[in-house]
Amino acid sequence: MAGTDERRAADRERMVARQLEARGVRDERVLAAMRRVPRHLFLPAGHEDEAYGDHPVPIGEGQTISQPFIVAEMTALALSATPPVRRALDVGTGSGYQAALLAEVGFDVVSIERLPSLAERARATLAAAGYGRVDVRVGDGTLGCPDAAPFCAIVVGAAAPEVPSALSEQLRIGGVLVLPVGTRSLQDMVVVRRTPHGLERETAGACVFVPLVGEQGWEK
């Protein structure tokens, strides 16, 4: 067991060095979190050896866990909120890995997943990995969680055709919403910031995510 743990830790170190630092990820909080969170625990049985590869991995129900670089970038953008670490909303719980990273860097995390089977599995994995304080809910992520708003950061792990107004409205002043926006096959990573004067929007590069299904997203 000790040998396996050491090997997994070495895998995470290589992932951070080769996939994150080599591509310009500099936020030490994010790098430290990526070293600590055991990504292999968030993959389906039999896929653990794929955990630290430079690619997304299927997790069932037509969903994926994003490649490490993308998750690191989104976490760093979440930390650019002002104030940087308070309550965060993770839309599209999936495996629970993004929620774990947000918790690891200090956020109080609410995570919402439309598929009950994934939510149940993620809740159990998060608890086993030491992140049982993450509040995992089942619902339409495009509508956010009004009862827990406002959020200083909202991270969306699936692609929307447009920025859901329900999510941008749940940002506090200084808050940031990070999500892929575009077609079903190709998107841009969009960053929406709520300022005292309204919303500001910028893009942070091309990406490819599964569709965000819901009232303010795509139809099934």
Angle between helices 28-36 and 97-104 (to 10 degrees): 130
Give the helix/strand (H/E) hosting 187: strand 187-195
The phi, psi pair for 3, rounded to 5°, reads: -65, -40
Contact 163, 179 (CB under 8 A): yes
The phi, psi pair for 9, rounded to 5°, reads: -65, -40
Determine the Cα–Cα distance for residues 220 and 133; give it in Å rounded to an integer. Answer: 31
> Of 150, 155, 157, 156, which Cα lies nearest the Cα of 174?
150
Residue of 66, 95, 111, 168 marked catalytic: 66
Determine the Cα–Cα distance for residues 114 and 142; give it in Å rounded to an integer. Answer: 10
| 185: annotated active-site residue | no
Token readout for 139 is 């619902």
How many CA atoms are closer than 13 Å to the CA of 39, on its beta-carbon side? Answer: 30
**Where in the sequence numbering do the catalytic residues fall?**
66
